[in-house]
Amino acid sequence: GQNIDQPTEMTATEGAIVQINCTYQTSGFNGLFWYQQHAGEAPTFLSYNVLDGLEEKGRFSSFLSRSKGYSYLLLKELQMKDSASYLCAVRAPNDMRFGAGTRLTVKP
Amino acid sequence: EPEVTQTPSHQVTQMGQEVILRCVPISNHLYFYWYRQILGQKVEFLVSFYNNEISEKSEIFDDQFSVERPDGSNFTLKIRSTKLEDSAMYFCASSEDSQQSAEQFFGPGTRLTVL
């Protein structure tokens, strides 16, 4: 079957680092995206990985291991505004399959 | 900053009625997408569109759905005979190119409620 799994909820403290994991099993793989979605709003693009390794973009980094079907999103220097859902999505032929999202709560 | 817009923000309809959801993609973008998100559930891909034809569609996008670019700016999703389970937030997205890595910009969504 096709699965994208991520933790349902995480909590972290302002200023800290948090890692959100995603594992996937899909028919075909053309890259993995991370999106941020605030409640009641549209998803916004954070990162894209298609090759193994780490992609860094400011406070956000994303890692991919294709052999393990595994990715993570790393958020550094957490801010209160980072409280949101983080969606892992895999691009496959004729599909862009999303995980259910990880709801991150940042506490003072 | 250019953005994708969608109208209406909320549409209420009776089961069996047809609805048309409208989107205006970013003006220089060529690739367009529709997604839906049932309340509390995952975002689901419906269809992608380029050069006036469907590029990809998921198993959800059955015969009751259709898409159209009726003019140079609008991109529409039509649901022919709505069902209760079509109630969801529908997001339109656009991207500048078709590369797999291309960032898709999402509109604010239309909340469809089928009674």
Which chain A residue has its CA at the smallest distance from B54's CA? Answer: A94
CA–CA distance, A60 with A46 (Å, rounded to integer): 8
Contact B42 A41 (CB under 8 A): no
Q: Is the pLDDT of residue B1 over 90?
A: no
Asked if residue B89 lies in contact with residue B36, where contact means CB atoms within 8 angstroms, the answer is yes
The beta strand positions in B64-115, using DSSP E, are: 65-68, 75-79, 88-95, 105-106, 110-114
The beta strand positions in chain A, using DSSP E, are: 3-5, 9-13, 18-25, 32-37, 44-49, 53-57, 60-65, 70-75, 84-92, 95-98, 102-107
Contact A98 B109 (CB under 8 A): no
| Amino acid making up residue B68 | E
Percent of chain A with pLDDT over 70: 99
B105 touches chain A (CB under 8 A): yes
Which chain B residue has its CA at the smallest distance from A39's CA? Answer: B40
Q: Is the pLDDT of residue B55 over 70?
A: yes
* Of residues B45, B101, B105, nearest to A96 (C-beta): B45
**What is the per-residue pLDDT for A94?**
73
Question: What tokens appear for A3 in the block?
Answer: 């699965």
What's the average model confidence in pLDDT over B77-96?
96
**What is the per-residue pLDDT for B83?**
96
Question: What tokens appear for B52 in the block?
Answer: 């006036």
Q: Is the pLDDT of residue B63 over 90?
A: yes
Q: Which of A64-73, B55-64, B91-100 has the highest mean pLDDT?
A: A64-73
CA–CA distance, B106 with B89 (Å, rounded to integer): 12
Q: What is the pLDDT of residues A61-71, one digit of tens each?
A: 999 999 999 99
What's the average model confidence in pLDDT over B11-32?
95
CA–CA distance, B60 with B58 (Å, rounded to integer): 5
Question: How many residues does the structure list for chain A?
Answer: 108
**What is the per-residue pLDDT for B72?**
78
A75 Rama class: left (phi>0) / alpha (psi -120 to 50) / beta: beta
**Which helix (H) or strand (E) segment is B22 a member of?**
strand B19-24
